[in-house]
Structures are given as C-alpha cells and as structure tokens.
C-alpha cells in the first residue's frame, strides 16, 4: 500500500502562548470548542465565529470568549496572532479569505492539538466508530484515579465536566479523527484503533487509502509506546503492520491479549469478565447498553492498565460511567414513552445502536428517526444504510444534513432514495423531510410503551428535545 510522509507544515510548531490572540473559524464545533476552552485556561485571548448559537458557544462566552454568529470577519483584527480552522473549512470561506488577505497565520485544529499533546504523554483514540465513547471512558478512569489528565473529546461528557479539560497531570487524552488525515498531526505515546471501515469516501475514495492512513497513524506511536487494537477487525490487521511500538489486542470472541466475556446484559447493564492473556483479570460492569460498548471498555482497560491505574479504580470508574451526550442518551420517559438521542451516522453505528435498543426493549415498538449526514456518505453507503434498520419497527427519514457536499452530490442522491431502498430491504420506512413535521407525526402516532430513537450527526436531536417537551 502507498504511504504518505507527514507534510513539513505539520511539524508541531503551532503552540499558542499565553496572551496570544487566537481566532477560531467554526468555534462551535465539538473539537474546536474543546481546544478553545484549553487555550482560554492557558491565558490566550480567544475570539471566533460560527453560523449559529449553541450550548458550546454559550459556555465559551461565559469563559470570556467573544464569538460572532455572522461569520463576516468583523471580529478578526490585525492584532490576531493566529487563525484556527477545522478540516471542514474550505478555502472559499469568507473569513478564511480575510485571514489570508491580512497575512495572519492560519493553522488547522489538529495541528494545535498535536502541539498541545507533544508537551505531555499523549493517548490518541482513533477508529471509524467508538472513539468518542472510548476517549470518554479513558478520561473518566484516569480522572477517577486522581491523575488530572488533559483531555479533548468529540462529545460532551457531563460526568467529567464537558468535552475538554486542562489538567495538571502529564497525560493528554485526545480523540483522533481520520478525516483529512488529521490524526497524523498528533504525537502520541499510546494509541487505540477501535475499527476501520469505509467512511469519509469523499476524501479517501476507497478502503485501501483509509487503511493506509491508519497504518500511518500506527507508525506514529513511539517505539517505547503501546498500540491497542480490536482483534476482530481484518483492516486493522493490515494497518498494524506499520506499527513500531508494542501492540496489544482485545476481543470478545477470540484469543487476544485482552478478552471479554459478557455473562449478563439485563436491564441495560453489561456485566463481563476480562481475561488478560487467558488469566482472569477481573469482573466489570457497565451501565451503557450494547456489546459494542464492552469492546470500547476493553480498549480503555488495556490503556489504563498500561499506564498504571489499579484494577479496582478501573472497575469503579466504568461502573459509574454514564456515557457521552448523544450516545444512547435518554432524553425523556414521560407518559411511558422513552425518547433517546444518538449520534449514529454510519450503517454500522445505526445497526449496533438499534441492536442495543432491541436488547434493552425486547417487546416494545421502536421508532427510529434518522437524519442522514452528508449526501456523499449517503450515496456511497446507500446499500449498507438500507440494511441497517432491521431492529426498528418504524423508520422516519428526514432530509439529509449537508456537510462539505458538492452540487453534484446533492443532485445525485436524497433521503427519498434511501427510504425506498430501506423499504425494499423489508423495513417499514417513511420520508418526512422537515424536522417540525416529524415531531408532529410522532406526537400523534407514538403510544405509551413505545421507544423513539433519533439518530444522526446533524441537528436531529431537536426532534428528541421537541418531542420530549410536547410529552411533558
């Protein structure tokens, strides 16, 4: 497979200093807001912009950030030392053009993240799915152990104070995104690969290029470090050949360095035994449902054991772990109608989340409201999506939430097409384009005892919140 050298501009020389004026374009993004929070704590003057208000933006404003919702460049001044952009910001963005014209240094979010990680012992969690939850588990365990880590997570984790924290300890836990090969800007001593599947095909084109990128990530782990990988994933087996570090594997159903054995999954609580190289390591419990979360827990156990956290601390932290926001988050149980919100936006994520719901609610009617994320992802993975809803009794598709989509992609596919394919696959599905109309339909048709799950990486969470409000 082809390999790529990390470009020279990615070599960790982007460390903002206390007092620097830093401007974030798209500051409301989950990763961007996390880094902004850390820089505010370090004494930087943070300003930025986004297209709409949010709770993340409100939090930053309370911390002292000045944020413009117009994205017209008016908050950007010649005194700005650096402009930070995410991988989603294109060169035709008006504010990015303004920064270029003013001669302000422009860096990517992942480059700042890499600079921050370099100063500590980095733990980078990668993978197509599960990296937010795994990052949250590791951060929770390490914080419970009193090690006060710095962390940057791609989701809100209420139990540990949100999506970011500047700790006094020497550990830096970061979710590592593969889009745009962003994770290659990091400098980890410990890495995790949860799984490798087709995704971000608007950037990578095919699975071979995705595997190559993960192989590059594996090669970043220092020789005296550790790479923890899912032993059930054939694509990981190819990528891990590039590793220079030690490697530990985890699995539920095959010989691995860390093997889990679920012995009870009642009432949404997973109880499982963990074997370390075939010797019983201990028994654990997890109150977030689904066997996929036991996989995530195995990765967290391996990492935290490696850095010296006592087994009893790991057991306590995982038993109390309540998950990240928008990861099977129960929004309401009013009128005996359970409303759940989840971030699933890939066929595998949809499938395992609905499977977890069916295991938790075996005799209840499950409604799934799915908002596809990106026209390109929907087109590339149409067949996989259409076959991923079998554990739902009724599916409602909304219009696609566009992100980085070209005019060609918008014209090439749509939710109506996905709805037809899902019906052909044997699932009862309906297309309702707009979110308010979805809430109207649910309000009139959902009955006591039913379960409603909203899914997607866009703003479909509004359906869950609005429905919960009506039920109250």
pLDDT by residue (tens digit) across 336-354?
Answer: 999 999 999 999 999 999 9
Lowest mean pLDDT among 65-79, 127-141, 368-382: 65-79
pLDDT at 119 over 50: yes
Domain spanning 120-320: CATH 2.60.40.10: no
**pLDDT value at residue 266:** 82
pLDDT at 9 over 70: no
Do 120-320 and 329-471 fold alike per CATH? Answer: no
Express each pLDDT in 386-431 by its tens digit. 999 999 999 999 999 998 888 999 999 999 999 999 999 999 999 9
Express each pLDDT in 431-471 by its tens digit. 999 999 999 999 999 999 999 999 999 999 999 999 999 99
Lowest mean pLDDT among 13-17, 156-160, 199-203, 434-438: 13-17
**pLDDT value at residue 1:** 37
Mean pLDDT of 54-59: 91
Mean pLDDT of 122-135: 97
Catalytic residue numbers read 131-132, 175
**pLDDT value at residue 7:** 39
Mean pLDDT of 316-341: 96
According to DSSP, residue 15 is labeled -
Mean pLDDT, the chain, integer:
93
**pLDDT value at residue 148:** 97
Structural fold of domain 329-471: 3.90.190
pLDDT at 257 over 50: yes
Q: How far is CA 399 from the centre of its chain?
A: 22
pLDDT grade for 13, boundaries at 50, 70 and 90: low
What percentage of the chain has pLDDT greater than the value 70? Answer: 97
User: What sign results for the dihedral spanned by CA atoms 362, 355, 155, 120?
Assistant: positive
Which of 236, 134, 161 shows the shortest CA–CA distance to 195? 236
**pLDDT value at residue 472:** 86
Instruction: Parse the chain into domains and list their residue ranges.
Output: 19-107, 120-320, 329-471
- Burial of 412 (C-beta count, 10 Å sphere; 0-12/13-18/19+): middle
pLDDT at 8 over 80: no
pLDDT grade for 51, boundaries at 50, 70 and 90: confident
According to DSSP, residue 426 is labeled T
**pLDDT value at residue 2:** 41
Express each pLDDT in 97-109 by its tens digit. 999 999 999 999 9
Lowest mean pLDDT among 12-16, 168-172, 208-212: 12-16
What percentage of the chain has pLDDT greater than the value 90? Answer: 88
- Say which residue, 151 or 52, is predicted with more confidence: 151
Q: Which CATH number fits domain 19-107: 1.10.357.10, 3.40.50.410, 3.40.50.720, 3.40.50.2300?
A: 3.40.50.720
**pLDDT value at residue 390:** 97
3-state helix, strand, coil in the chain (%, to 5): 40, 20, 40
DSSP assignment of 97-128 equals HHHHHHT-EEEEHHHHHHHHHHTSEEEEEE-S
Which of 229, 225, 201 shows the shortest CA–CA distance to 215? 229
How far is the CA of 350 from the CAs of 76, 178, 396, 455, in angstroms? Answer: 40, 20, 13, 8
pLDDT at 61 over 60: yes
What is the C-alpha to C-alpha distance for residues 295 and 256, in angstroms, rounded to an integer? Answer: 12
**pLDDT value at residue 11:** 41
**pLDDT value at residue 191:** 98
pLDDT at 53 over 90: no
- Across 100-240, where does the E strand assignment appear? 105-108, 121-126, 150-152, 164-165, 171-175, 190-193, 226-230
pLDDT at 151 over 60: yes
Which of 151, 96, 93, 87 shows the shortest CA–CA distance to 125? 151
């Amino acid at each position: 497979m082809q390999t790529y050298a990390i470009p020279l501009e990615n070599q960790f020389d982007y460390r903002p200093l206390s007092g620097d004026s830093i401007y974030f374009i798209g500051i409301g993004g989950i990763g961007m807001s996390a880094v902004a929070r850390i820089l505010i704590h370090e004494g930087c003057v943070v300003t930025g912009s986004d297209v709409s208000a949010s709770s993340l933006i409100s939090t930053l404003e309370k911390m002292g950030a000045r944020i413009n919702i117009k994205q017209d460049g008016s908050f950007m001044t010649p005194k700005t030392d650096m402009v930070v952009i995410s991988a989603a910001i294109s060169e035709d963005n008006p504010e990015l053009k303004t920064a270029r014209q003013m001669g302000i240094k422009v860096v990517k979010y992942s480059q700042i993240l890499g600079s921050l990680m370099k100063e500590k012992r980095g733990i980078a969690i990668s993978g197509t799915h599960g990296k937010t939850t795994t990052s949250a588990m590791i951060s929770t365990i390490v914080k419970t152990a009193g090690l006060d880590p710095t962390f940057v997570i791609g989701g809100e984790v209420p139990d540990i104070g949100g999506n970011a924290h500047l700790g006094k300890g020497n550990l830096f836990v970061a979710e590592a995104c593969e889009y745009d090969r962003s994770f290659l800007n990091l400098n980890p001593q410990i890495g995790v690969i949860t799984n490798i599947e087709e995704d971000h095909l608007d950037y990578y084109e095919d699975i071979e290029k995705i595997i190559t990128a993960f192989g590059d990530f594996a090669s970043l782990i220092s020789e005296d470090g550790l790479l923890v990988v899912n032993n059930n994933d054939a694509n990981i087996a190819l990528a891990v050949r590039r590793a220079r570090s030690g490697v530990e594997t985890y699995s539920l159903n095959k010989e691995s360095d860390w093997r889990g054995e679920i012995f009870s999954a009642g009432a949404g609580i997973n109880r499982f035994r963990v074997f370390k190289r075939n010797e019983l390591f201990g028994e654990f419990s997890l109150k977030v449902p689904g066997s996929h979360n036991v996989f995530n827990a195995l990765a967290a156990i391996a990492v935290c054991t490696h850095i010296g956290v006592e087994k009893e601390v790991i057991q306590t932290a995982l038993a109390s772990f309540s998950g990240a926001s928008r990861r099977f988050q129960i929004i309401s149980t009013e009128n005996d109608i359970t409303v759940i919100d989840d971030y699933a936006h890939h066929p595998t994520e949809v499938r395992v989340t609905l499977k977890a719901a069916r295991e938790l609610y075996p005799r209840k009617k499950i409604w799934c409201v799915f908002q596809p994320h990106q026209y390109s992802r929907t087109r590339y993975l149409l067949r996989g999506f259409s076959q991923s809803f079998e554990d739902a009794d009724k599916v409602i598709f909304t219009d696609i939430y566009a992100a980085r989509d070209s005019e060609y992609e918008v014209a090439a596919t749509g939710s109506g097409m996905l709805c037809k394919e899902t019906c052909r696959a044997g699932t009862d599905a309906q297309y309702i384009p707009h979110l308010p109309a979805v809430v109207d339909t649910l309000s009139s048709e959902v009955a006591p005892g039913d379960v409603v799950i909203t899914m997607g990486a866009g703003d479909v969470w509004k359906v869950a919140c609005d429905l919960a409000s009506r039920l109250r």
